[in-house]
């Protein structure tokens, strides 16, 4: 069987792919398990897709792992997700290094439990010299939080006389977001059949191609990822021109 991978044009790859990893709970429920089991299996997909992205030569892969709104889930689920985050980061650091992957994080990291923040920072430091794929984890992230936060910082700079109102433009705003220095996504994928953006990268996806699949995140595999890239390559991007 030929793989979608062989059909991908290596000279026209999306530079940055963002994924809303959704459907863990439903995937588990359909199999008679609790939601946590779905999150645990979602880690396998994270591993597979990170490897696929690194192999094929994607520069940035951003994964929406935990939203600002997700803090409102039952405490037991939040705790389980934070535990999973800690364990995964710890276990995967050697593999990230082996695959030349650099870990980054966006979001309000101050809200993470101390231990999670610590392990995260350690992995970021230990992979910071890698030059292959940049894997960006969105944690305690939401776009409205990010934009609100940037407005506060910009206002303070104006108050302090370091910036003038007339300095504010598209580029300046981008440079105050947590995604500064990361190019806007070319392709955004959402799994699980929901057709919405759920407060993810609202500013950054102005001209991003959107791709929705019914497959739940724990079932999402390399072939599904290649298929999304192939579909992207068949789109015509006009950027309003
Ligand atoms: C995505 O799966 C993972 C997180 C949001 C942390 P869900 O937990 O949202 O699973 P569903 O969408 O309820 O099936
Ligand atoms: C979006 O999924 C957040 C993440 C994937 C981390 P949700 O399951 O939280 O979003 P809604 O509630 O379906 O919009
Ligand atoms: Mg969901």
Does 2 score more than 90 pLDDT? Answer: no
Mean pLDDT along residues 31-47: 98
Average pLDDT of the residues of the chain: 98
List all residues 6 or more positions away from 118 whose beta carbon is below 8 Å from its beta carbon.
none
What is the pLDDT, as a whole number, of residue 1?
A: 75
Q: For 102, which DSSP code?
A: E
What is the pLDDT, as a whole number, of residue 167?
A: 98
What is the pLDDT, as a whole number, of residue 148?
A: 98
Is residue 26 within 6 Å of ligand 1 at its C-beta?
yes
**Coil, helix or strand for 61?**
strand
pLDDT, tens digit, 9 for 90 and up, residues 57-75? 999 999 999 999 999 999 9
Judged on CB neighbours under 10 Å (0-12, 13-18, 19+), 43 is: middle
**Are the CB atoms for 35 and 79 separated by under 8 Å?**
no
Judged on CB neighbours under 10 Å (0-12, 13-18, 19+), 203 is: middle
Mean pLDDT along residues 40-46: 98
Is residue 21 within 6 Å of ligand 1 at its C-beta?
yes
Is residue 191 within 6 Å of ligand 2 at its C-beta?
no
What is the pLDDT, as a whole number, of residue 27?
A: 99
Domains and CATH numbers, the chain: 14-141+184-231 (3.40.1180.10)
Tokens matching residue 44: 């396998």
What is the pLDDT, as a whole number, of residue 241?
A: 94
Which residues have a catalytic role annotated? 22, 70
- Cβ burial 134-172 (10 Å sphere, 16+ → b, else e): bbbbbbbbbbebbeeebeeebeeeeeeeebeeeeeeeee
Does 30 score more than 90 pLDDT? Answer: yes
Strand partners, 63: 19, 137
pLDDT, tens digit, 9 for 90 and up, residues 83-140? 999 999 999 999 999 999 999 999 999 999 999 999 999 999 999 999 999 999 999 9
| Other C-beta atoms lying within 10 Å of the C-beta of residue 2 | 6
Rounded to the nearest angstrom, the gap between the alpha carbon of residue 168 and the centroid of all alpha carbons in its chain is 27
CA 184 / ligand 1 centre spacing (Å): 24
CA 39 / ligand 1 centre spacing (Å): 8
**Are the CB atoms for 73 and 39 separated by under 8 Å?**
no
């Amino acid at each position: 069987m030929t793989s979608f991978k062989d059909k991908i044009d290596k000279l026209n790859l999306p530079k940055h792919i963002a994924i809303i990893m959704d459907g863990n709970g439903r995937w588990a429920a359909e199999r008679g398990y609790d939601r946590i089991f779905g999150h645990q299996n979602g880690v396998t997909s994270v591993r597979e897709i990170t490897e696929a992205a690194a192999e094929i030569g994607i520069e940035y892969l951003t994964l929406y792992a935990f939203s600002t709104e997700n803090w409102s889930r039952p405490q037991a689920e939040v705790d389980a997700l934070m535990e999973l985050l800690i364990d995964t980061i710890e276990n995967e650091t050697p593999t990230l290094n082996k695959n030349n992957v650099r870990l980054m994080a966006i979001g309000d990291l101050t809200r993470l439990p101390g231990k999670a923040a610590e392990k995260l920072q350690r992995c970021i430091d230990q992979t910071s010299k890698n030059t292959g794929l940049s894997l960006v984890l969105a944690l305690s992230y939401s776009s409205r939080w990010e934009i609100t936060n940037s407005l506060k910082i910009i206002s303070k700079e104006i108050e302090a006389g370091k910036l003038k109102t007339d300095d504010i433009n598209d580029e300046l705003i981008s440079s105050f977001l947590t995604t500064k220095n990361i190019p806007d996504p070319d392709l955004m994928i959402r799994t699980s059949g929901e057709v919405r953006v759920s407060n993810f990268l609202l500013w950054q996806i102005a001209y991003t191609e959107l791709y929705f699949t019914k497959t739940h995140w724990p079932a999402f595999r390399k072939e599904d990822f290649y298929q999304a890239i192939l579909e992207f390559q068949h789109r015509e991007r006009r950027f309003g021109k």
